[in-house]
Amino acid sequence: MKKILLFGFMCTVMLFACKKSSMDDFEILKTKAAGGGSSSTNNSSSSPRGIWNRFGSPNGYMTDLAIGNIPGEPSNRVYMCEHRGSPSAGLYKGLISGKTITWDAVYGLPSAEFAKDKNGGSYYRLWFSVAAYDQAGKYNTGTWTGECPM
């Protein structure tokens, strides 16, 4: 029960912390960062890069994740777009170091791990340690949909 309440609180915080700016940034991101993600499998400290899309959400939630290649941002910048329909819909920004994403303080989110599935899956997972690992979102390479204006 505590996990459900904590998850609900986290989603509410994310919903009210959304920051939006111009659509021009989206168009640049879509053209420069499209083409999926990549990572080094030989170096566990290297960060994955590219565009990732959530799949298989039990509630049907959709999320885009851009890591690096974001125009005007440092190479370790992360943008996460929770699509409409999610209790935490909006755009969130952070920085990645190795597998750890530290979200900008304005969102009040705990750090998250973005890494290959620990259970041997061919996909990546975005795991906030406040929830069980098997509840972490699953991600494959994809495209930035433009659901969230930047």
Residues 88-113: pLDDT tens digits? 999 999 999 999 999 999 999 999 99
99 found inside a domain: yes
* Residue located via tokens 């993600």: 37
- Mean pLDDT of all residues in the chain? 77
Check: CB of residue 7 under 8 Å from CB of residue 82: no
Residue range 105-125: mean pLDDT, rounded: 94
Check: CB of residue 37 under 8 Å from CB of residue 48: yes
**Distance (Å, rounded) from C-alpha 16 to C-alpha 137?**
21
pLDDT at 45 (0 to 100): 53
pLDDT at 135 (0 to 100): 84
| Per-residue model confidence as pLDDT tens digits over 134-150 | 889 999 999 999 999 77
123 found inside a domain: yes
59 found inside a domain: yes
148 found inside a domain: no
88 found inside a domain: yes
Checking if the pLDDT of 9 tops 90, the result is no
**Distance (Å, rounded) from C-alpha 73 to C-alpha 70?**
6
The three-class DSSP label of residue 113 is: strand
pLDDT at 80 (0 to 100): 97
pTM higher than 0.85: no
Checking if the pLDDT of 44 tops 60, the result is no
- Neighbouring CB atoms inside 10 A of 107's CB total 20
Residue range 31-35: mean pLDDT, rounded: 40
51 found inside a domain: yes
Beta bridge partners of 37: 50
pLDDT at 75 (0 to 100): 95
38 found inside a domain: yes
**Residue span of the structural domain in which 107 resides:** 2-141
User: pLDDT band at 37, cuts 50/70/90?
Assistant: low
72 found inside a domain: yes
Number of domains, the chain: 1
